[in-house]
Amino acid sequence: MFEVPSLSDLNVGATLPVTLLALGACVLLVVDLFIPRERKSITAWLTAIGIGVSLVFSLLSLSGAVEFGSGELAFSDMYRADRLTDTINVAALITALLGVMVAYDYLERTRLQRGEYYILLMFSAAGAMLMGAANDLVIVFIALELLSIPLYILSGFRRPQEASEESAMKYFLLGAFASGFLIYGIALIYGATGTTNLPEVWDAVAGVVAEDSAAKFLVMIGAGLVLAGLGFKVAAVPFHMWTPDVYQGAPTPVVAYMSVAAKIGGFAALVRVFGMGLSTFVLESGAPAAWQDTIWLVAVLTMLLGNVVAIVQSDLKRLLAYSTIAHAGYILIAVAAAGTAGLEDTAAQAVVIYLIAYAFTNAGAFAVITAMEKDDASNTSLDALRGLASRCPWLAAAMAVFMLSLTGIPLTAGFVGKWFVFKVALQADLVAAAVVGVLTSAVSAYYYLRVVWMMYFEEGEGDAATPPALAWAIGVAAVGTLVLGALPYLLSDMAREITLAFGG
Amino acid sequence: MLSEYAPIAALLVISVGMGILILFISRIFGPFRPTARKLAPYESGMEPFGPAIRRIPVKFYRVAVLFILFDIEVIFFLPWAVVFRDLGSYGLVTMGVFFFVLTVGFIYEWKVGGLEWE
Amino acid sequence: MVPLWMYLLVAAGLFSIGMYGVLARRNAIAILMSIELMLNAANINLVAFWRYNQPAQVGGQVFAAFVFVVAAAEVAVGLALIINIYRQRRSVVADDVDLLKW
């Protein structure tokens, strides 16, 4: 006979932010059916309130003011509510909130105003949050799908526009292909270790390596396949091919949301799986984890390709798509650093700091493009930027802030992120990766500053419309970028206590 | 081991052999006088029209997709059904949550007209 | 009993066939079917590992159930997207997916 758990063992309290969000999305799905088509602003408001409530709970939990639930583990050890979970929750929810604000007016003027947009966005935010909380490979997989499936639909939301539908199909086919890799890799890890629970995997992997059996190869291949699957989601080379096409074709507000949310989820899962579960996968004693070399090599390739190809782009959305690839490379350096014993926590902190800084900056940059874009999805080329500063000085200033932050100029959030990433890379002796990172940052300055140059110093017809919600989103993102950059301790204090639990 | 499968193998051989044998015998001894009508595909006495492989209205796909979703979700009831007496109220509540989510999907499907044929 | 490695071999074969299908086929529906093959290969692995290594715990079996439920959701979304494209262009040939082959 087995022991029947009781409801209080589930510890639902600890999962409150994500549970509330998912529940809210379910309820809203029904409520939205009774809201007439021309009054969808109600749905948008309800969504914003739902995300806001969840954000408040996450922040309360993060500040330690209120203790939700009893202990870290919930749902039979499937869910871990620790510091990393809280910070990832905050990042994902802020992104979702910006996503709603950016989308509202765009949907209005392109006649796409449907409640499903906001509900899908909520579901996918819940997926990103669950990825950060995963304590089990099953949750990693389900959360990844919960994050991705709404994103597939959202990228095709602008129908019957062909580019949008095509980008949705491409994103879907490649995303599903990637989840095939992920699930096969998880199956092999399960076969080698006999468990899918991450702390137990952590325990078992050390034993597998010690006894030097065939299971070692299962772990190796499994880790590689999981890396490929998650690499697809975060757009790491050589799995980045979908990014420019999908980001160019999908509606711009969707890109503003998904370029950040998919990265938050993907990197949170990478940290959980590699930093926590597989960090004992050390083939020679004293050496870093066996996957470290692979990941930093991927990071170097990603940074090089993203930054170099971005230089020759003439479309702003495509340029930023390559820029998101490049930024995936920077964060991957920190993930690689997690392979050095003793640095797991510092590396996880660097990843979180970078992600939060990136959330404000990148969502803001795409919000500016949303403001520029015409109803027929045109006017997103670099040329459209010419003379923007004279017509829309505030918008141009915000865009300049985002570009400087993406470059990594001091006093912007982007600099803080890069600082922590390169620092942990040096601590982990990944000097080559750090050097490539700094050099490619210098290269990236060329195309980011060219955007600023075109806005301010070239004559042209650059124009944009900023309705209130969008203006607020851009304002919040710009202020966030500047404040986090000027007061870096905000981020580092928030991340300082992030620890990955080991050995159950 | 493998010998346990011997009866199945024997059955397989006999049934396949019987089938071939019957076809063979009827081909040799039976009269064979084909007409155009006899060679036409059998459609329950209806007049056959058009090829069998052709486009089907998209409505069928929609119904099929909706069916697959709800059909497969039922798999989660199965393990619960096996032990639901032992799980007691715990099982009932957790299954209630699952059923709630499923019902939300169903209400949505119904209200947006996914189940309407015309 | 049939040894474990045979199951793993079948699964690896299925996975490879699926991967070949995704990379080589042009038809979006065929690609979708190939992806299903890959997911089912992983399912064979999960169930085989469960049966041979941990028959006392249902972890692997339950995971397999999750995989195919999620796969069904994925297929539903995928088919809807493909039908949408078909209505636009009267074709489901995913020419653009050849980007993978570089």
* pLDDT tens per residue across span C53-73: 888 888 888 899 999 899 999
ipTM surpassing 0.90: yes
Q: What is the CATH number of the domain that holds B71?
A: 1.20.58.1610
pLDDT > 90? residue B88: no
Contact B68 C83 (CB under 8 A): no
Task: Please report, in angstroms and rounded to a whole number, the separation of the first and last CA atoms in chain C.
Answer: 44
Nearest by CB to residue C80, choosing from B65, B72, B76, is B65
Q: Could you tell me which residue, B42 or A277, shows the higher pLDDT? A: A277
- Residues of C whose CB is below 8 A from B72: 68-69, 72
At which residue do the structure tokens 């494209």 appear?
C85
DSSP string computed for chain B = -GGGGHHHHHHHHHHHHHHHHHHHHHHHHS-----HHHHSPP-TTSPP-S-SS----HHHHHHHHHHHHHHHHGGGHHHHHHHHHHHHHHHHHHHHHHHHHHHHHHHHHHHTTTT---
Question: Is C81's Cβ below 8 Å from some Cβ in B?
Answer: no
The first and second tokens of residue B72, run together, are: 């497969």
Whether residue C20 has pLDDT greater than 60: yes
Give residue ranges of A with CB < 8 Å to any B CB: 1-2, 4-7, 10, 26-27, 29-30, 33
Q: pLDDT at residue A288 above 70? A: yes
Domain hosting residue B69, numbered range: 2-111
Query: Can you tell me the distance from the alpha carbon of A106 to that of A102, in angstroms, rounded to the nearest whole number?
Result: 7
Say yes or no for a CB contact (<8 Å) between A7 and B88: no
Q: How far is B42 from chain A (nearest CA, A)?
A: 40
Give the whole-angstrom CA distance, residue A158 versus residue A249. Answer: 10
**A42: enclosing H helix or E strand:** helix A41-63
The residue whose two tokens read 């990172």 is A437
Out of B90, B108, B112, closest to residue A4 by CB: B90
Angle A378-A382-A387 (CA atoms, 0-180°, nearest 5)? Answer: 100
Query: What are residue C56's phi and psi, to 5 degrees?
Result: -75, -25
Are A4 and B86 within 8 A, CB to CB? yes
Question: If you compute the radius of gyration of chain B from its CA atoms, what whole number of angstroms results?
Answer: 26
- CA A362 – CA A324 distance, rounded (Å): 8
Who among A4, A10, A29 is closest to B108 (CB)?
A29
Whether B117 is in a domain gets the answer no
**C83 in B contact zone (CB under 8 Å):** yes
Asked if the structure places residue B65 within a domain, the reply is: yes
Distance from CA of C6 to the nearest CA of B (A): 15
**pLDDT higher for C99 or C71?**
C71
What domain count does chain A have? 1
One-letter identity of residue B80: W
Dig out the tokens for A496 from the structure: 């300082």
Question: In chain A, pLDDT over 70 holds for what percent of residues?
Answer: 99
Q: Pick from B1, B69, B79: which is nearest to C72 by CB?
A: B69
Interchain CB distance below 8 Å, A26 and B93: no
Does C72 contact B58 at a Cβ distance shorter than 8 Å?
Answer: no
What per-residue confidence (pLDDT) applies to C65? 92
pLDDT of A462-483, one tens digit each? 788 889 999 999 999 999 999 9
Q: Count of CB contacts below 8 A, B vs C? A: 28
CB distance A259 to A324 below 8 Å: yes
Could A153 and C77 be called an inter-chain contact, meaning their C-beta atoms sit closer than 8 Å? yes
Nearest residue to C4 via CA among A374, C12, A97 = C12
**Cβ-defined contact of B79 to C79 (cutoff 8 Å):** no
Q: What is the full DSSP assignment across A365-403?
A: HHHHHHHH--TTS---BGGGGTTHHHH-HHHHHHHHHHH
CATH number of C4-100: 1.10.287.3510
A504 within a domain of the structure (yes/no)? no
The two three-digit tokens of residue A164, written as one number? 């949008």
Give A-chain residues touching C100 at CB under 8 angstroms: 174, 241
How do residues A212-267 score in pLDDT, each as one tens digit?
Answer: 778 888 999 999 999 999 999 999 988 888 999 899 989 999 999 999 999 999 99
Give residue A127's domain range: 9-496
Residues of B in contact with C65 (CB under 8 A): 75-76, 79
| A1 domain residue, yes or no | no
Chains that touch B (3 or more CB pairs under 8 A): A, C
Cβ–Cβ of C72/B68 closer than 8 Å?
A: yes
pLDDT (tens digit, 9 = 90+) per residue, B36-67? 777 777 777 777 667 767 777 878 888 888 88
- CB-CB neighbors (< 8 A) of A196 in chain C: 59, 63
Residue A373 counted as domain residue: yes
Would you report the helix, strand and coil content of chain C in percent, each value rounded to 5?
80, 0, 15
CA-CA distance, B25 to A90, in Å (whole number)?
Answer: 77
Is the pLDDT at A43 greater than 80? The verdict is yes
Contact A6 B90 (CB under 8 A): yes
- Round to whole Å and give the CA distance between C58 and C47: 9
Shortest CB distance from B101 goes to which of A4, A7, A26?
A26
Q: Which residues of A touch B111 (CB under 8 A)?
A: 33
Coil, helix or strand at residue A214: coil
Interface of C with A (CB under 8 A): 8, 11, 15, 18-19, 22, 28, 31-32, 35, 38-39, 41-43, 45-46, 48-49, 53-54, 59-60, 62-63, 66-67, 70, 73-74, 77-78, 81-82, 84-85, 87-89, 94, 96-97, 99-100, 102
Best of C36, C75, C85 to substitute, by most chain B Cβ atoms within 10 angstroms, is C75
Residues A26, B100: C-beta atoms closer than 8 Å: yes
Q: Is the per-residue pLDDT at A91 higher than 60?
A: yes
Q: Which residues contact A229 (CB under 8 A, 6 or more apart)?
A: A144, A178, A179, A180, A181, A182, A183, A185
Domain annotation covers residue B72: yes
CB contact under 8 A, A26 and B88: no
Q: Is the pLDDT of residue C24 over 80?
A: yes
Res C73: pLDDT: 92
Measure the CA–CA gap between A93 and A80, rounded to whole angstroms: 18
Lowest mean pLDDT among A4-13, A354-363, A463-472: A4-13
* CA neighbor of C64 nearest in space, from C52, C49, C75, C79: C49
Residues comprising chain B, all counted: 118
d(CA C33, CA A98): 37
Tokens of B95: 């299954």
Q: Give me the half-sphere count of Cα atoms (radius 13 Å) on the Cβ side of residue A296.
A: 28
Q: Could you tell me which residue, B38 or A319, shows the higher pLDDT?
A: A319
Query: Tokens at residue C17, please?
Result: 């066939």
A335 token code pair: 């993930």
Question: CA A255, C98, A233 angle in degrees (round to 5)?
Answer: 35
Omega before B34 cis (within 30°)?
no
Average of per-residue pLDDT values in chain C:
85
Helix or strand (DSSP H, E) at C21: helix C4-24
C69 contact B CB<8A? yes
Percentage above 90 pLDDT, chain C: 51
Instruction: Tell me how many domains chain B contains.
Output: 1
Give the closest-approach CA distance of B2 to chain C in angstroms.
8
Interface mutation target, options A1, A3, A4, chain B, most CBs of B under 10 Å: A4
Render pLDDT for A17-28 as a digit per residue (tens, 0 to 9): 999 999 999 999
CA distance C6 to B5: 18
A58, A156, A293, A412 from A87: Cα distances, Å: 8, 30, 28, 20
Whether A5 sits inside 8 A of B90 (CB atoms) is: yes
Torsional sign, CA A87, A93, A96, A97: negative
Of C62, C69, C80, the CB nearest to B73: C69
Inter-chain residue contact C66 with A186, CB threshold 8 Å: no
Cβ count near A345 (within 10 Å): 20
Burial degree of A465 (CB within 10 A; 0-12, 13-18, 19+): middle
pLDDT at A207: 87
Residue C96's pLDDT band (cuts 50, 70, 90): low
Cβ contact (<8 Å) for C69 and B58? no
